[in-house]
Amino acid sequence: MSEMFDCDDPGQREIGIASAISALKGGRLVVMPTDTVYGIGADAFDSAAVAALLAAKGRGRDMPVPVLVGSWHTIDGLVYSVPQSAKELIRAFWPGALSLVVRQAPSLQWDLGDANGTVMLRMPLHPVAIELLREVGPLAVSSANISGRPASVSAQQAREQLGDLVEVYLDGGPAEQQAASTIVDLTGAHPRVLRQGPVSVDAVAGVLGVEAASLTAITD
């Protein structure tokens, strides 16, 4: 039976985060608030838990799970090498609604799906999410919804879709942005915006010193 905790109540927040930490370390799933939409999370290094996350969403391995981190420095151990463009975007927009697709470190022992040596990383701008990430470490987190249905912007919406497949629901109130993050792919010869979200293409282009049109152009 899943439990929901109101993180606006200090006592419930403390118990809820402790319960979420225990669940994640035990290979189970949690729903957590972020600044964009609610996320369903698992220990990124627990392959069985990540598989359970994909199954809960009804999502295939062809859509690998992104990873949330609790600090800028965490990515140093996750990435093959941090491109200068990534450093600039991290300085400008993290924590926040920008996800970066980069080449993962070859030594990483995780299975996020068919990611072909890449990983999508983000540091969320939400105190509950950050506290959880700093206690547990990198989490595999996808939007808290059944694949093909709208992303949940409240804990109750997530619970209505995912039910007892998730052990702990952390309710941090309505998601601030109520839209999925902007995604920038940094694995090719030139940065590309794969999804437009709260961080505008113009803002990304301004940081990188390029024309906005070059970030959205379709290239072979």
pLDDT of residue 220: 41
Question: Could you read off the pLDDT tens digit of each residue along the chain, which spans 220 residues?
Answer: 899 999 999 999 999 999 999 999 999 999 999 999 999 999 999 999 999 999 999 999 999 999 999 998 899 899 988 999 999 999 999 999 999 999 999 999 899 999 999 999 999 999 999 999 999 999 999 999 999 999 999 999 999 999 999 999 999 999 999 999 999 999 999 999 999 999 999 999 999 999 999 999 764 4
pLDDT of residue 218: 60
- Tell me if 217 is assigned to some domain: no
The structure tokens listed for 79 are: 């990435």
* Residue 74 DSSP one-character state: G
∠ CA 179-181-187, rounded to 5°: 155
pTM > 0.75: yes
Domain count along the chain? 1
CATH number at residue 171: 3.90.870.10
Percent of the chain surpassing pLDDT 70: 99
Query: Which residues have C-beta within 8 Å of that of residue 37, sequence separation ≥ 6?
Result: 143, 144, 151, 152, 153, 175, 177, 178, 179, 180
Condensed to tens digits (0 to 9), the pLDDT of residues 53-97 reads 999 999 999 999 999 999 988 998 999 889 999 999 999 999 999
Can you give the residue range of the structural domain that contains 33? 1-177
Angle of the 127-136 helix axis to the 10-25 helix axis, nearest 10 = 40
Q: Are strands 98-103 and 30-32 parallel, antiparallel or unpaired?
A: unpaired
- Tell me if 213 is assigned to some domain: no
- Tell me if 76 is assigned to some domain: yes
